[in-house]
Amino acid sequence: LENEFENAIQIVKLLQQNGHKAYVVGGAVRDQILGREIGDIDITTSAIPTDVQSIFDKVIPVGIEHGTVIVRYHGESFEVTTFRIEGDYSDFRHPDKVHFVDRIEEDLSRRDFTINAIAMNVDGKIIDPFFGVKDINNRLIRTVGKAEQRFYEDPLRILRALRFSSQLGFSVEKNTKISLLANIEWIKKLAIERVAVEIEKLFAGTNIKKAMPLLLDSRIDKFLPIFKDKSDLWKCFCTLSTPVPTLTEFITLGHLYDRSVPIETWVKQWKLSKQIKKDSFKLVELFDDFEANHLNKWLVYRLPTYLIQSFIHIVSVLLNEQIKEETIREMQGTLPIQERKELAMNGQDILYLNPNKPKGPWINDCILQLEKNVVTGDVENNKKDIREWVKQWK
């Protein structure tokens, strides 16, 4: 096994040395077999959380009652989950009860798809009671057990099937697909936070275009906030041929496709973070500036590095214009200042120049105007020139 698994293997070995069974499981095993870049490595073990806590120094109890802890090991994080099976899901969020078990096969049986129900021991040997390797080779998403039952237990699996088809470019196996299409409405029982996580990954999938026909067929939109009342909006999303990597970009596109839905509504109905809201507002503002004025100094000045890719993608999707990241970076490099605090004068200084004016919002207006003038090169960034400029500013 490659180095990427080095720390995970150490953890598995330590668990074994303490008398427990342990395996690498889930997405990492699947992606390793596929030759895909692996993400987080999940470990499954017969050890219960208190055992795990006694073996490792840094253990974060994220879901003790479900048997899940995070082990920090040599700077890396690993989800370590006790072998378990699940009771009913009466709230459609968490199983009412989980039962710890001691056979890996039982643990694998509660997992969603055969491709995710493969365990790997430290020698790279594979435990695959549901023939997940075969499904990986045939590029098929198939539930472990009867699709109907597995989707009913946790309708998130319906969304996950679509998500994996977009991420991996796999097809959904016939019976799994029949059940997915017949029972799509079960997703309305899910907490929106869980839905949002899967929708983000779905639209971020590199095979989104390939997954689109099934996505359209599923009529999932009828059960998603906002889309359920805006069928044209969903159609716009279904014409996308490139991945949308983040929810920020997703809702920004949503708003730009149909401005009658405010960003606030997206954020509220999808229960998204303040950061996403802030970034989305910024992207809309910059998009509008681009549409009116093309790339300009003031625009690139306001575009933070972490939003460059999103901005470029949105412009490409909506205006079919391809901006190069390098072009933006170069323009940013030639700006007189990179941020407001580099201005040669601050609010205090400006207040000082206007001793007769009381403090008020005018100071902020003035600084914003000044900032813009300095960025565009209309005013030089030194005290003397700024003083002159402030004098004539109203």
Of positions 111, 142, 282, 313, contacts ligand ATP by CB under 6 A: 111
192 token code pair? 């929106």
* Number of neighbours of residue 199 by Cβ within 10 angstroms: 21
Q: What angle do CA 370, 375, 379 make, to 5 degrees?
A: 55
Nearest by Cα to 316 from 264, 251, 243: 243
Cα gap 143→184, rounded to integer Å: 15
Nearest by Cα to 255 from 282, 224, 219, 275: 282
Cα gap 236→248, rounded to integer Å: 17
For residues 295 and 328, is the Cβ–Cβ distance under 8 A? Answer: yes
| Smallest distance from Mg ion to CB 188, Å | 25
| Smallest distance from Mg ion to CB 167, Å | 11
Compute how many residues bind ligand ATP; rule: CB under 6 A: 12
Nearest by Cα to 159 from 124, 188, 130: 188
Asked if residue 157 binds ligand ATP (CB under 6 A), the reply is yes
- Residue 111 binds what, of Mg ion, ligand ATP, none (CB under 5 to 8 Å, by partner type)? ligand ATP
The sign of the torsion formed by the CA atoms of 275, 276, 281, 282 equals positive
Asked if residue 26 binds ligand ATP (CB under 6 A), the reply is yes
Asked if residue 95 binds ligand ATP (CB under 6 A), the reply is no
- Residue 20 binds what, of Mg ion, ligand ATP, none (CB under 5 to 8 Å, by partner type)? none
166/218 with CB nearer ligand ATP: 166
20/111 with CB nearer ligand ATP: 111
27/145 with CB nearer Mg ion: 27
Asked if residue 200 binds ligand ATP (CB under 6 A), the reply is no
Task: Kindly list the distances between the CA atom of residue 250 and the CA atoms of 164, 200, 281, 284, in Å, as whole numbers in the listed order.
Answer: 18, 8, 12, 12
| Smallest distance from Mg ion to CB 118, Å | 13
Of positions 116, 165, 248, 310, contacts ligand ATP by CB under 6 A: 116
70 token code pair? 């995070």
| Smallest distance from ligand ATP to CB 117, Å | 6
- Residue 107 binds what, of Mg ion, ligand ATP, none (CB under 5 to 8 Å, by partner type)? none
Residues near Mg ion (CB under 5 A) are 27, 40
Q: Which stretch binds ligand ATP (CB under 6 A): 128-136, 150-158, 288-296, 370-378?
A: 150-158
* Number of neighbours of residue 388 by Cβ within 10 angstroms: 12
Q: H-type helices in 219-346, by residue range?
A: 231-238, 247-257, 263-269, 274-293, 297-302, 308-319, 325-333
290 token code pair? 């681009």
Helix (H) or strand (E) holding 25: strand 22-25
20 token code pair? 């427990």
119 token code pair? 């365990």
Asked if residue 190 binds ligand ATP (CB under 6 A), the reply is no
Provide the β-strand partners of residue 85. 99
| Smallest distance from Mg ion to CB 44, Å | 12
Asked if residue 154 binds ligand ATP (CB under 6 A), the reply is yes
190/276 with CB nearer ligand ATP: 190
Asked if residue 112 binds ligand ATP (CB under 6 A), the reply is yes
26/254 with CB nearer ligand ATP: 26
Q: Which stretch binds ligand ATP (CB under 6 A): 38-46, 235-243, 356-364, 378-386?
A: 38-46
Q: Which stretch binds ligand ATP (CB under 6 A): 112-120, 272-280, 342-350, 378-386?
A: 112-120
- Residue 365 binds what, of Mg ion, ligand ATP, none (CB under 5 to 8 Å, by partner type)? none
In the complex, the residues that contact ligand ATP under the rule CB under 6 A are 26-27, 39-40, 42, 111-112, 116-117, 154, 156-157
